[in-house]
Structure formats: C-alpha cells, structure tokens
C-alpha cells in the first residue's frame, strides 16, 4: 500500500477512536490529549512501511516526531487535569448542543475531529516523507534541520515550564515576562515552528517530492498566527497590563520590545 494512503487510513482510524471517546465522555478533550499520541502512531506506521532497512533520515524523523508527540501528550494531559476541557472546545460544544444532540455530535466530528485530523496530516508530512528515503546519505543542511528541531524543542519545553511555574493554570492575574516571554508573547509556539521547520529541512532534497515537507512549517506558522494566537489571547484579556504587553511585544517571532 502507498505510504501516504496508509498513513491517512491510520490517522482516520485514530480520529474516529478519539471521537468515540469524546462521545462517551461528553467532552472534546480527547482530541487535544490524544493529538500527540496520534502523531506517534502515524509516523510509526510510516516507519513500519519502510520495511526492514529504514534509512537514517527516516529513523531520525520518526524519533523526533515521537519525542514531540510524547512531550505534547504529557504536557496537555497534566494541563487538562488542572483546568479541564479547553474553554474554546467547551464553548463550541455548549453552543452546538442547544441545537440538538445529533447536530452537536455531527458538527463536532466534522469541525473539531476530522478537521484537526486533516491539519495533523499536513503537519506530519516531513515525518511521512522522510520514511520514503531510499538512502542513508544526508547533506549538511539536513543536519542543520536536526539542530533546528533540537533548538525548538528546548525553547518550547523551557518556556512551557516557565509558564506552568508562573501560573500553575490557576487564576494568576499577572503576565509572565521572563526569558523569551519578554521578546514574544508566545515563545512556546515559536519553538513549535522551529521544530517543524527543522523536520522539513531534514528531508529536503533527500526524498522524492520533498518540497511538500515545506507545507508543514508553513501551515503551523499561519495556523498559529491567525487561529491559535487570537483564540488563546481572548482568554488573557483579564491579565493586568495585558494591553500594554501586546502593544510592545511581538506575537510569535522574538524581537526587541517596542518602547
């Protein structure tokens, strides 16, 4: 079976599984909590498709995506145990429920679960493409991609830990402005962009159609700027000094604060 079709089928099965969990639990947290685990399953399927002699590029990509997926799962799992279902998902679900249980179930599947599955497939393109590599040979820029991923992982992990220590997901009214938080409002998302840019660079020109891997960092950058950041910042308007903070601080890419 074609590797792209295989990964799409595996992803679809995973999405249906977490959707059924959401139906039983009557909340949509399963899509957030399971996001990283689904990614791990999909790249594992791609790695298995490579056969008994996977390439070095495929092994590295599979390992990096798996590390990303496990860290994301652990982070969101503990965040969920502290705050419960994400306010955005809860609000959507309650609005749709007013129009009937069937309407809420169907719209949830297509707008939350299926749509997120399609986005995740685009995000995982570097991991899938890397496992089509016919050779172990890697150029210097592929190794730069690995280093870029490591840098992004370190940034995301450290800034998430800083945020967690600052707020502990409680009603803390102040804004964290330590470290990279002083130069970007979302350094954790910036780390995410670096990681997927690194993965795209890892398989660039080493596999057929490798240019498709660039869709991954392009997607995560645009989605973060125009969807994730606006929706998350709606929940932060109550923070003391928030208006002043957003006026002087870059939304995603680190830059010196405006005076």
Kindly indicate the confidence band of residue 94, based on its pLDDT and cuts at 50, 70 and 90.
Answer: low
- Element spanning 111, H or E: none
Kindly indicate the confidence band of residue 89, based on its pLDDT and cuts at 50, 70 and 90.
Answer: low
Question: How far is Cα of residue 141 from the mean position of the Cα atoms in its chain?
Answer: 24
Kindly indicate the confidence band of residue 86, based on its pLDDT and cuts at 50, 70 and 90.
Answer: low
Cα separations in angstroms, 206 against 55, 143, 151, 158: 11, 12, 22, 31
Does residue 234 have a pLDDT over 80? yes
145 versus 77: which is more confidently predicted? Answer: 145
What pLDDT is attached to residue 61? 95
Q: What is the pTM of this model?
A: 0.89
What is the average pLDDT value for the chain, to the nearest integer?
87
Which tokens go with 40?
């791990």
**pLDDT more than 90, % of the chain:** 51
Kindly indicate the confidence band of residue 79, based on its pLDDT and cuts at 50, 70 and 90.
Answer: confident
Mean pLDDT of 187-211: 93
Kindly indicate the confidence band of residue 52, based on its pLDDT and cuts at 50, 70 and 90.
Answer: low
- DSSP letter at 98? T
Look at residue 184 and give its three-state secondary structure: strand
pLDDT of 121-134, one tens digit each? 999 999 999 999 87
pLDDT of 200-217, one tens digit each? 999 988 888 899 999 999
35-49 helix and 56-83 helix, angle to the nearest 10 degrees: 160
Question: How far is Cα of residue 77 from the mean position of the Cα atoms in its chain?
Answer: 14
Q: How far apart are CA 149 and CA 205, in angstroms?
A: 18
96 versus 161: which is more confidently predicted? Answer: 161
Does residue 164 have a pLDDT over 60? yes
Does residue 90 have a pLDDT over 70? no
b (16+ CB within 10 A) / e for 49-70: bbeeebbebbbbbbebbbbbbe
Query: Rounded to the nearest 5°, which phi and psi values hold at 250?
Result: -60, 140
Count of C-beta atoms within a 10 Å radius of residue 247: 9
Contact 195, 152 (CB under 8 A): yes
């Amino acid at each position: 079976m074609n590797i792209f079709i295989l990964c799409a089928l595996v992803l679809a099965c995973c999405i249906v599984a977490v959707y059924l969990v959401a139906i039983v639990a009557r909340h949509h947290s399963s899509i957030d909590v399971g996001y990283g685990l689904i990614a791990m399953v999909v790249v594992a399927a791609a790695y298995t498709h490579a056969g008994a002699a996977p390439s070095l590029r495929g092994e590295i990509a599979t390992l990096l995506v798996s590390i990303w997926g496990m860290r994301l799962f652990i982070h969101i799992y503990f965040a969920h145990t502290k705050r419960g279902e994400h306010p955005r998902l809860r609000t959507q679900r309650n609005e749709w429920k007013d129009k009937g249980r069937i309407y809420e179930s169907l719209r949830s599947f297509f707008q939350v679960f299926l749509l997120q599955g399609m986005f995740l497939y685009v995000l995982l393109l570097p991991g899938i493409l890397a496992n089509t590599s016919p050779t172990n040979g890697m150029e210097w820029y592929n190794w730069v991609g690995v280093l870029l991923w490591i840098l992004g992982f370190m940034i995301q992990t450290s800034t998430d830990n800083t945020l967690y220590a600052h707020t502990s997901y409680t009603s803390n009214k102040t804004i964290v402005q330590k470290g990279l938080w002083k130069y970007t409002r979302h350094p954790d998302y910036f780390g995410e962009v670096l990681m997927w840019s690194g993965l795209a660079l890892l398989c660039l020109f080493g596999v057929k159609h490798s240019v498709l891997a660039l869709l991954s960092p392009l997607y995560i950058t645009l989605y973060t700027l125009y969807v994730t950041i606006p929706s998350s910042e709606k929940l932060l308007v109550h923070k003391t000094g928030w208006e002043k903070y957003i006026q002087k601080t870059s939304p995603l890419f680190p830059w010196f604060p405006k005076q």
